[in-house]
Amino acid sequence: MSYIEPNITEDTAPMDHFPIFIATRTARIIVSGGGDAALAKLRLLMKSSARITVFAADAAPEIAQWHAARKLTLVPRAMDYGDAVCAKLFYGANEDAVEDARTAHLAMTCGALVNIVDNLHDSQFITPAIVDRDPVTIAIGTEGAAPVLARAIKADLEERLPQNLGTLARIGKTFRDAAFALPFGRARRDFWRDYYFNTGPKAVAEGQDSVLPALQKLLDSHLSKTARAGHVAFVGGGPGDPELLTLKARRALDEADVVIYDRLITPEILELARREAVMIDVGKEGFGPSTTQERINDLLVEHAQGGAQVVRLKSGDATVFGRLDEEIDAIDAHGIGWHIVPGITSASAAVAALGQSMTKRGRNASVRFLTGHDTRGFADHDWRTLARTGEVAAIYMGKRSARFIQGRLLMHGADRHTPVTLIENASRPNQRVVETTLAALPDTLDAAQMSGPALTFLGLAPRAALALAPTLSAQEFA
Ligand code: SAH
């Protein structure tokens, strides 16, 4: 809620008032007093199914009318001994402190809980501000501290909650027994969430009669889902261009119940997921740090165990610098089925942008995929071999480690003029190719200010004919 500062919610002072909902069907409630204070309380109380008795020698005409309409019982005199027998609740609304104290005492001796209007100190209970979406009832209390705040929150909720929430809840209630067919826990929760926030509101908009059939259909689909075994497909999402997805990847996205995706997956690819799929971004949570690997593992297990067809969508190829094995180990430990759908790794897309091949007879018979840093920091490699002329390496996550890599290579005798090419956002509309040399690599990177994912190709320059293509060269940053 926008009214509450986050640090206030951390306040752990014990509650002085504990919220409960009292059954009113057979309850007797007494109000002493017949003026404005009594009227305000009565308007609220008459929404309940309680039997209400008002004691007032001089009651407002509305109260007499309600009495005539049998909405309550008016006893046209002051309250006396024994009048509160069997009453559950008592409201002192006499607008007179002495009379309130006297009648409250009478009620208490009969065992009723007592509330005195505008007297928090002598009240045993207080009435919250209420948002009524029968049968959904929201009670807002501030322990008497800030009634204005309670009213503001009430107004806000009144505006925000759809009027048909009550209808949905009422119809939902008739369906509770049927929903027990779903296993307890996640499966059942998912079903109800889908009903209240997706299927239900849509059906209600088409008319109340369509809600029950929609609910039945929804239950059938959830039942068949839980009957299936959960499964995880580790899908390579490619470098970003949706056309570089494999047909298998597309099919997996089409059939997914849940898609758990990384930061580098482009929106165009997410668009291709089944519309009903639950989309979970584990690249970033709000502005906070990225989701921990443990949390990702848990999510995979949780959803697959609930019977979902999970797509774990990773950028490029899932088997390249993707911590895939940790995720496989986690779901293996739970006996969950999985398979891998290969994808186009960013090195392939990047080298395509250079118009080069990764290997070439007479130049390099091997190519290495390196990471700039690993779990321990900057990654160590066989620098001596890498420093040899003609070696080609695709360096992933190499932006921050560029100076380190350059230093190691030069130290091991690499030629300062070794071509190096940076490819940012390979395969995407904002792809950028920056040509440089080993000597100039860190400065080129600094000047280029790359904010997108970038791959560094050691030992490769763009094919000369490509110089005509719209790319930037290192000189532009000189
Ligand atoms: N599994 C991925 C790599 C994940 S590591 C793959 O196979 O491509 C993340 C690194 O991949 C980034 O730091 C960057 O170096 C590289 N990368 C991913 N997408 C890229 C893209 N579209 N263009 C350039 N580099 C990319």
Query: Can you give the pLDDT at residue 7?
Result: 42
28-127 has which CATH code?
3.40.50.720
Ligand 1: which residues within 6 Å by Cβ? 239-240, 264, 314-317, 320-322, 345-346, 350, 396-397, 423, 425-428, 453-455
Mean pLDDT of the chain: 89
- What is the average per-residue pLDDT within 194-210? 86
Q: Give the number of C-alpha atoms closer than 13 A to the C-alpha of residue 214, restricted to the C-beta side.
A: 21
DSSP string over 276-291? TPEEEE-S--TTSPPP
- What is the average per-residue pLDDT within 286-313? 85
466 CA → ligand 1 middle, Å: 22
* Residue 294, both tokens: 């443990």
Query: Can you give the pLDDT at residue 63?
Result: 97
Task: Identify which has the larger pLDDT, 472 or 299.
Answer: 299
Q: Measured between alpha carbons, how far is 68 from 34 in angstroms, rounded to an integer?
A: 15
State yes or no: pLDDT of 299 exceeds 80.
Answer: yes
pLDDT tens-digit map of 38-72: 999 999 999 999 999 999 999 999 999 999 999 99
315 CA → ligand 1 middle, Å: 7
Residue whose tokens read 């990047």:
350
Give 410's contacts (C-beta < 8 A, 6+ positions apart). Answer: 387, 416, 438, 439
State yes or no: pLDDT of 112 exceeds 70.
Answer: yes
Fold of the domain spanning 347-477 = 3.30.950
pLDDT tens-digit map of 77-100: 999 999 999 999 999 999 999 999
pLDDT tens-digit map of 318-370: 999 999 999 999 999 999 999 999 999 999 999 999 999 999 998 899 999 99
State yes or no: pLDDT of 266 exceeds 60.
Answer: yes
- What is the average per-residue pLDDT within 218-229? 82
Among 142-146, 396-400, 428-432, the range scoring the smallest mean pLDDT is 142-146
454 CA → ligand 1 middle, Å: 7
Q: Beta strand 432-437 with 377-378: parallel, antiparallel or unpaired?
A: unpaired
* Residue 416, both tokens: 């300062």
Q: Measured between alpha carbons, how far is 437 from 441 in angstroms, rounded to an integer?
A: 6
77 CA → ligand 1 middle, Å: 83
Q: What is the 3-state secondary structure (H, E, C) of 89-112?
A: EEEECCCCHHHHHHHHHHHHHCCC
In the chain, % of residues over pLDDT 90: 67
3-state DSSP assignment of residue 221:
helix
Q: Measured between alpha carbons, how far is 253 from 273 in angstroms, rounded to an integer?
A: 5
Highest mean pLDDT among 211-225, 255-269, 270-284: 255-269
Give 369's contacts (C-beta < 8 A, 6+ positions apart). Answer: 320, 321, 345, 347, 393, 394, 396
- What is the average per-residue pLDDT within 107-127? 94
Query: Can you give the pLDDT at residue 3?
Result: 40
- Give the confidence band of 286 by pLDDT, cuts at 50, 70, 90: very low
State yes or no: pLDDT of 9 exceeds 70.
Answer: no
pLDDT tens-digit map of 244-253: 999 999 999 9
Task: Identify which has the larger pLDDT, 351 or 181.
Answer: 351
Query: Can you give the pLDDT at residue 468?
Result: 47
Minimal CA–CA distance to 182: which of 213, 211, 231, 224? 224
**428-to-239, 266, 320 alpha-carbon distances in Å:** 8, 9, 19
State yes or no: pLDDT of 460 exceeds 80.
Answer: yes
Closest ligand 1 atom to residue 262 Cα is 4
Backbone angles phi, psi at 58, to 5 degrees: -130, 75
Task: Identify which has the larger pLDDT, 285 or 452.
Answer: 452
State yes or no: pLDDT of 287 exceeds 90.
Answer: no
Was domain 231-344 assigned CATH 3.60.10.10? no
Mutate to test the pocket of ligand 1, among 235, 241, 243, 264 (most ligand atoms within 8 A of CB): 264
Among 16-25, 139-148, 211-220, the range scoring the smallest mean pLDDT is 139-148
Query: Can you give the pLDDT at residue 106?
Result: 96
